[in-house]
Amino acid sequence: MPISGFPEWMPPQRMIEQRVLDRIRSTFELYGFSPLETRSVEPLETLVSKGETSKEVYLLRRLQADENAKDDDSLGLHFDLTVPFARFVVENAGKLQFPFRRYQIQKVWRGERPQEGRYREFLQADIDVVNRGELPFHYDTEMPLVIGDALSGLPIPAIRIQVNNRKVCEGFYRGLGLADTAQVLRTVDKLDKIGPARVAEALIETAGATRAQAEACLELAAISAEDGSFVDAVRKLGVDDPLLDEGLNELLQVVETARENAPGLVVAELKIARGLDYYTGTVYETQLRGYERFGSVSSGGRYDNLAASGNERFPGVGYSIGVSRMLGVLFGQNALSVSRSVPTCVLVALPNEDQRPDCVRIASALRRRGIPTEVAPSAAKFGKQIQYADRRGIPYVWFPGEPDTVKDIRSGDQVEADAAAWLPPAGDLHPVISAG
């Protein structure tokens, strides 16, 4: 029986997922990120202190718990990969070379309400750069370029990265005279869910804002630009604060770097806040063009205080691709397909069971040369064996004989072939993912 929020892809979907992961992994490594995998559980006190996620954390508990075991009630499954990564950095700081660039592709768990593209168990692919003491800002400008590169090589809709800087928001709120900037951020972050009118009311009720202050917060959140013009738009609102100036300068660097290296990829969107409390500067959210109604499929930001040991800080910036979320949305809209339902490129036909060893030798010769091959399951009539291949989308059937022949069952073309030399066209070697 299916369990809501715990997806199980069928093999064709899993093949698509694997190809997506291959692309993401190879791109991350092109940019010099090293692989890492951390444990699935973290101390509960760590998980519930990192943002509004305590109600979503899954506890880890044994069925036959020992009442004297102190740790049975204090472990939870991680809800993201950034918090465990920060813990790993602190614990292993003496063994790491800084700045430390890592990628991590793992399952995470959140007990939220399942819906299309949102799951309780899902796969994330993260990159982070962490340094000891101070982390230069240019890493913030690099992050969108890596994500854009990783996803642009896939047959998915084009992405648009919305970027903001919490210093802009916090400096602006402070300049307005609003003291509880964290509460204002959390409230403004709900704009897309509840709309500006209800956000304004919530700011008045929960953050102590006047009507004028609430309206000013909404004016800031309405600013959007693909170039540096957002700076003038903010200035026209007439609010001054040193932190605001710092944030505008940083945000301008991210936008201008993207405009130079990947035009059209990034837009400054001053309503973006991100719900997790540990972000301190740049924040990113990514949408699939044409699928904006499903929200962000990839997000991240700068965190200066998440990882610390004594007086030593390890500031970082990271970005996470919600692989399951992105694919779940696309699968739900039938926006991705794969050319065949199995990896097999060649089916070796079986004339009779006595010839199975010969057929296995042919299959082995093809596999040694990187051609995915299987031997027919039984010595049925050749018509049925061809039908078996056709149902699975296997493009070629190999007929042992004197000489051997191989048939493209789509076109009907059949030619003599040698297992030590024959090659299929490159487009047939592996299943091909395409849009729609």
Which domains occur in the chain, in start order?
11-335 (3.30.930.10), 346-435 (3.40.50.800)
Query: 99-145 pLDDT, tens per residue?
Result: 999 999 999 999 888 877 789 999 999 999 999 999 999 999 999 99
User: Does the pLDDT value for residue 49 go beyond 80?
Assistant: no
How large is the average pLDDT for residues 222-242? 96
Query: Which residue did the predictor score with more confidence, 7 or 49?
Result: 7
| Percent of the chain whose predicted confidence (pLDDT) is above 90 | 81
Structure tokens at 338: 């794969």
If pLDDT is split at 50, 70 and 90, which confidence band does 185 have?
confident
Whole-angstrom distance, CA of residue 98 vs CA of residue 104: 17
What average pLDDT does this structure show over 350-355? 97
Q: Token digits for 42? A: 């973290």
Region 178-182: what's the mean pLDDT? 88
Instruction: Provide the pLDDT for residue 68.
Output: 65
Question: Do 289 and 273 contact (CB within 8 A), yes or no?
Answer: no
When pLDDT is cut at 50, 70 and 90, the band that residue 155 belongs to is very high
Q: Residue 255 has what pLDDT?
A: 98
Q: What are phi and psi for residue 433, nearest 5 degrees?
A: -90, 135
User: Residue 278: pLDDT above 90?
Assistant: no
Residue 52, pLDDT score: 54
With a cut of 80, say whether residue 73 has pLDDT above it: no
pLDDT higher at 276 or 427:
427
Counting residues of the chain whose pLDDT is more than 70, the rounded percentage is 96
Task: Output the pLDDT for position 53.
Answer: 57
| pLDDT confidence band for 2 (50 / 70 / 90) | confident
The predicted structure's pLDDT at residue 70? 61
Lowest mean pLDDT among 7-21, 54-68, 284-298, 390-404: 54-68
Q: Provide the pLDDT confidence category of residue 149 given band limits of 50, 70 and 90.
A: very high
Cα torsion through 413, 419, 425, 426, rounded to 10: 160
- For 16-36, how does the pLDDT look when each residue is reduced to its tens digit (9 = 90+)? 999 999 999 999 999 999 999
Q: How far apart are CA 431 and CA 12, in angstroms?
A: 9
In this prediction, residue 72 carries a pLDDT of 56
Judge contact between 11 and 342, C-beta under 8 A.
Answer: yes
Give the pLDDT of residue 62: 82
What's the CA gap between 82 and 68, in Å, rounded? 32
Q: What is the pLDDT of residue 67?
A: 67
- Asked if 349 and 407 count as a contact pair (C-beta separation under 8 A), the reply is no
Report the alpha-carbon angle 22-28-34, nearest 5: 105
If you average pLDDT over every residue of the chain, what do you get? 93
